[in-house]
Amino acid sequence: MRLAVGVTGASGAIYGYTLIKALSGLGVEVHAVYTDMGCKVLAYECGLTLAELTPYAVVYDNSDLFAAVASGSFKTGGMVVVPCSMHTLGAMATASGRDLLTRAADVTLKEGRRLIVVPRETPVTAIHLTNMLTLAQAGAVVMPAAPAFTHKPGTVDELVNGMIGKILDGFGLEHSLYRGRG
């Protein structure tokens, strides 16, 4: 399987990083796009650079609209945008394709592939909710970064893994990221 992962500048860079590592560990071919703010938040929150992701993913420059993930002929099993800022959510809801991440998301939807969007913002406005509804009506799965406690997490990593497990579930990928799974 091949998946695209977009990471924006919303807080929660650990979600994107953990997802990319988990997908790679499952043998998934990962194609990642970070926004400029996504790179800054990755450095600020996780102390990491994009260069440290290259063992786990093909990483594209967000301004490279010639990148493979910008084309519908590049077959993927879908795309995840995690965390998703409200700025990027709005751009995706209008199909602006203004950069590689939003173009790849638009391609994912137009090709009828699974798009999972993980907004990481609270509280939300009516505008945010309208944009989420627009994406859901277009076929995206809106999965807010709202960690569950049913698996009784004891650490931040266990909270993060629970959310990543839900994303993996959305693609039918078997994993053991949180307790309670068979």
Domain that holds residue 113: 2-170
Asked if the structure places residue 9 within a domain, the reply is: yes
Nearest to 97 by CA among 71, 133, 129: 71
pLDDT of residue 180: 60
User: Does 182 have pLDDT greater than 50?
Assistant: no
Assign residue 79 the CATH number of its domain. Answer: 3.40.50.1950
Which segments are annotated as binding site for dimethylallyl phosphate?
166
Task: Give tens-digit pLDDT for 16-25.
Answer: 999 999 999 9
Residue 141 lies in a domain: yes
Q: Is residue 7 part of a domain?
A: yes
Q: What is the enclosing helix (H) or strand (E) of 4?
A: strand 2-7
- Does 176 fall in a domain? no
Task: List beta partners, residue 3.
Answer: 30
Please indicate, yes or no, if residue 153 is contained in any of the structural domains.
Answer: yes
pLDDT exceeding 90 applies to what percent of the chain?
92
Query: Would you state the pLDDT for residue 147?
Result: 87
Q: Could you tell me the pLDDT band of residue 150, with boundaries at 50, 70 and 90?
A: confident
| Residue 36 domain-assigned (yes or no) | yes
Helix (H, G, I), strand (E, B), or coil: what is residue 113? coil
Query: Does residue 119 lie within any of the structural domains?
Result: yes
Residue set of the binding site: 9-11, 35, 85-88, 120, 166
Q: What is the pTM of this model?
A: 0.96
Binding-site residues for FMN: 9-11, 35, 85-88, 120
Domains in the chain, number? 1
Q: For the residues 1-6, what does the mean pLDDT come to?
A: 98
103-132: per-residue pLDDT in tens?
999 999 999 999 999 999 999 999 999 999
Report yes or no on 122 lying in a domain: yes
